[in-house]
Each structure stands twice: as C-alpha cells, then as structure tokens.
Amino acid sequence: MTIHDSSLRIDAERLWRSLDELGSVGAYFDEDAGLHGVRRLALTDADIAGRELVTGWMRAAGLAVTTDRVGNIYARRAGADNAAAPVMVGSHIDSVATAGRFDGCLGVLGGLEVVRTLNDHGITTEHPIEVAIFTEEEGARFGTDMLGSAVAAGRIDLDAARARTDSAGVTVGSELDRHGLAGAVEVPIRSPHAYLECHIEQGPILSTGDTRIGVVQGVQAITWLELRITGRAAHAGATPQRLRRNAGLAAALITVRLDEMVESGEYGLLLATVGRQVNYPNLINIVPEKSLLTVDLRNPDGAAMARAEADLATCIAEVEKATGVTITSRVTAKTPPVAFPDSMRDLVEKHASNLGMSCERLTSGAGHDAGEIAALCPSGMIFVPGLYDGISHNPREYSTPEACADGIDVLLHAVLELAGSGNE
Ligand code: GLV
Ligand code: MN
Ligand code: MN
C-alpha cells in the first residue's frame, strides 16, 4: 500500500482497547460521580505504572524508546532518512486527581496507533516518527503546567524544573531520580520536523455543533498565581469585628472580585478559577490566620490578560487595606497566547475534509504540550468532541470510540504527509 492511499484507516478497536487498559492504571472509584476515574499525578507510582505499560507497547511495536533529562519519553520509528528530523506526535499520560481516561492519553495512544497502523501496512516514511510522552503536563502535582514540554522546548530551565516541589515538599528531581527517569537525551531537545497532537476538546463547542474535528488555531494565555495571605488567629466568639485580621475573608473577597472581573466583560474572554484554598489553622472556632489560594487565569487575548493581572494586583492591595492582612503573590505559570501556523491548521483541515469529516476552527481553552513544542517547530492540534458538554478534569469525561478514531485517522494522514513517502 502506498502512503497516499486515502482508504487507509487506523484500527479503532485496538485504539479503544489501549485507552481502556491505560485507563485502568491509577483507577479509583469516585463516590460522587458513581464511576471509576483516573488518578495518575505526575511521577507518582501510578504514573510510572502507566509509563511502563505504554513503553512496553511502544517496544512491542518496534520503537526505540529514549528519555530526556526531565523524564520526557520519545519512542522512535525509523524512517528512510534517519538523519532527518522526526515528525513528532504525542501528549501526556499524567493526570489530575479526578481525571477521565482521555485527557492526554488519546494523543499518546493515538500516536502509537498511527505507528501500529504503518507497521500493519508495511509503510516506511522518509522522516522518522517519534511518539512523545511529556512529563507533568497537568501541573497538578508540581504547580506549573506543561513542565516537561517546556523544558524540552527550552522555556523552563532543567535545574528550575528539578527544584519544583509538590505540596509535601518532594522535588521533581528526587522523583526523577527515584524512578531512574532522568535520561540521556539533552534538553532543550533538537527541533523536530513538525509536531502534531490529537486531544479531546475538553469544552462544549464541538459537541454542540455536531462537528467531528476541531482544527485548533492556537492555545489561549495562561497565568497561574499562588497567593499567601497572613492575618491573625483569634477567638471566633470573643473577637469583635474591628479586632479581626481574617485571612479567610480576604481570600473570599479576592475570589468574588475575580468572578466580577470575568462577568464584567472588560477583560475579553477572561476566565478565572480559584481551584485551591487552604486556611490555617482550618478550625471552626478560630479566625483564620493564614490562607493559601491559587488563581488560574485564561485569556485568548494577551493584552486583556495583562490588564486583568494588573487589576487583580490592585484588588489585592485593596483587600489588604480593608481587612488588615498582608498578601504575597507568586507567579507559578505563565504562557502567552500561542497561534499555530496556518500550514498546520490547513493540513489538519485538508485531511479532515478528505476523510469526509466536518470540521471547525477553534482556540484551545486548555493548555497543551503542543503550545510549548510550537517554539521548536511547526505545530498543530486536532480536537475531537467529548460528551456531556465536553466535561473534563472529571471522571465523567467521555469521548466515543468513533470520535477518537476520527481524530487519529486525521492524525495518521497528516503525519504521512509531514513524514513523506519512504517506499514509493
Ligand atoms: C491542563 O489541563 C490545563 O490546565 O489546561
Ligand atoms: Mn491534556
Ligand atoms: Mn488536563
């Protein structure tokens, strides 16, 4: 079979079985959802078990598996020209604490399915193909997202990445060393020829419009902050209002103000989330002495994002004054809006159309490794719809076997065009 055969399709059942099997690694029963979810926080034993399962499949498919200094995995299928830069596909298999089985896994297992399909049909490409698994894409454990791909792309320095800690003070470096994951591949990595990532949309746009493929224009800006508020612990019954310096109240005021900023429409399509808030000493009859809160800001417009950040700083100063607390603010993640090149958008759109799939252009709400690798080479993304308004970071996350197969069929044909013919 030649690589331009448009009848070529992946094995949808094999892809689904792989998603299912990886989804059982780190599975937990979620009482609220009444179903099993996935918990594979980066570099935990569950994440390592997932990596071992997938790298076993990669080796069985004939791929040469290497690891870089920050534990990113690259599984290489040789091309006709092995001096040529590889076409890279991939994503992540680490998860948030309440995940489904698709976020990231579709991109990695879809990349593997592309390779398995090429193997089945004896197709050689000119460029090698590499399937990547990036470390700590979620940022859910070590506090900054796209950590592995940012190190691979040179945005985050390796030493800074290794020094990052989780909430228990465990460092990335010690976890990499504990699992023997600090590999030989130098970072930043050599630029791939191109990078493509298939992912579930994680939002409602595609499912609402019955569109089969999302052609991703780019990724919106992300800013993460950690605020530490210090007030004074005091007796809940005996301390009058005027003598309180209530850190919990200050946290609540900031949370409400963020919501008002979003609702005001003055910051474009700003979204703001306080995902973590911990009071100290966290007891019923003590005015909170301290509060830690995280702020996640998203905005497709970089200038509107900058305005929101400046106004949040003003709001923090006002809350300090009004409540008598002190607040320190630390930026833990910050990426600008990323636009994928037209060539990659057109490529995805062309192959979706060739395969008879309806498609729609959209900007990604979530952060992705593709946003980082875009600094190294032409990069793009393929989205597929999820059910239930595309809910994600929730065990209810679900994409159908057909939708997953659609995305990976488009990936297959786009990769074949990028990697070029080796046996014709
Ligand atoms: C990654 O899932 C993100 O937070 O966007
Ligand atoms: Mn993801
Ligand atoms: Mn995610």
CATH code at position 307: 3.30.70.360
Distance 264 CA to ligand 2 centre (A): 29
Rounded CA-CA distance 250/288 in Å is 10
Q: Would you say the CB of residue 367 lies under 6 angstroms from ligand 1?
A: yes
Weakest mean pLDDT among 62-71, 207-216, 326-335: 207-216
Helix (H, G, I), strand (E, B) or coil at 226: strand
Q: Which ligand is nearest to the CA of 294?
A: 1
Atom of ligand 1 nearest to the CA of 137: 1
The CB of 94 under 6 Å from ligand 1? The reply is no
One domain for residues 321 and 389: no
Provide the CA 296 distance to its chain's centre, in angstroms. 14
Contacts 24+ apart (CB under 8 A), 231-236: 231/287, 231/288, 231/289, 231/290, 231/291, 231/323, 231/324, 231/325, 232/287, 232/289, 233/281, 233/286, 233/287, 233/288, 233/289, 234/286, 234/287, 235/285, 235/286, 235/287, 236/284, 236/285, 236/286, 236/287
Q: What is the pLDDT of residues 232-279, one digit of tens each?
A: 999 999 999 999 999 999 999 999 999 999 999 999 999 999 999 999
Indicate whether 423 pLDDT > 60: no
The single-letter code of the amino acid at 32 is D
Is the CB of residue 100 below 6 angstroms from any atom belonging to ligand 1? no
**What's the mean pLDDT in 316-324?**
98
Average pLDDT on 388-393 reads: 95
Looking at per-residue confidence, does 1 or 291 come out higher? 291
Distance 367 CA to ligand 1 centre (A): 5
Instruction: Give the CA count within 13 Å in the CB-facing half-sphere of 359.
Output: 27
Is 225 in the same domain as 215? no
Is the Cβ–Cβ distance between 225 and 295 less than 8 Å? yes
Say whether pLDDT at 222 is over 60: yes
Let me know whether 385 and 305 are in one domain. Answer: no
- Are 331 and 345 within one domain? no
Compute, in angstroms, the gap from residue 200 CA to the centroid of ligand 1: 12
Calculate mean pLDDT across residues 132-160. 98
Indicate whether 178 and 108 sit together in one domain. yes
CA of 377 to the centre of ligand 3 (A): 23
Give the domain-ending residue among 307, 335, 363. Answer: 335
Q: What's the mean pLDDT in 304-310?
A: 98
Q: Is the pLDDT of residue 19 over 60?
A: yes
pLDDT band at residue 1 using 50, 70 and 90 as cut-offs: very low
Residue closest via CA to ligand 1's atom 2 equals 138
Rounded distance from Cα 145 to ligand 3 centre (Å): 9
pLDDT (tens digit, 9 = 90+) per residue, 98-129? 999 999 999 999 999 999 999 999 999 999 99
DSSP string, 324-352: T-EEEEEEEEEE--EE--HHHHHHHHHHH
**Taking all residues of the chain, what is their mean pLDDT, rounded to a whole number?**
97
Which has the closest alpha carbon to 225: 186, 153, 276?
276
Q: Would you state the pLDDT for residue 207?
A: 85
Q: What is the mean predicted confidence (pLDDT) over 190-199?
A: 98
Q: Is 138 in the pocket of ligand 1 (CB under 6 A)?
A: yes
**Among 265, 267, 346, CA closest to 300:** 267
Atom of ligand 1 nearest to the CA of 96: 2
* Residue among 182, 132, 185 at smallest CA distance from 161: 182
136 pocket-lining for ligand 1 (C-beta < 6 Å): no
Instruction: Check whether residue 40 and residue 148 sit in a common domain.
Output: yes
Pocket test for ligand 1, best of 145, 202, 334 (most atoms within 8 A of CB): 145
How many angstroms separate the CA atoms of 106 and 158, rounded? Answer: 27
Instruction: Name the band, by pLDDT with cuts 50, 70 and 90, for residue 424.
Output: very low
254 with 361, same domain? Answer: no
Rounded distance from Cα 314 to ligand 2 centre (Å): 32
**Residues within 5 A (CB) of ion ligand 3:** 103
Are 206 and 226 contained in the same domain?
no
133 CA to centre of ligand 1 in angstroms:
16
Does residue 104 sit in the same domain as residue 194? Answer: yes
Query: Structural domain of residue 397, as residue ranges?
Result: 12-220+337-419
Using the predicted structure, report yes or no on whether residue 4 has a pLDDT greater than 80: no
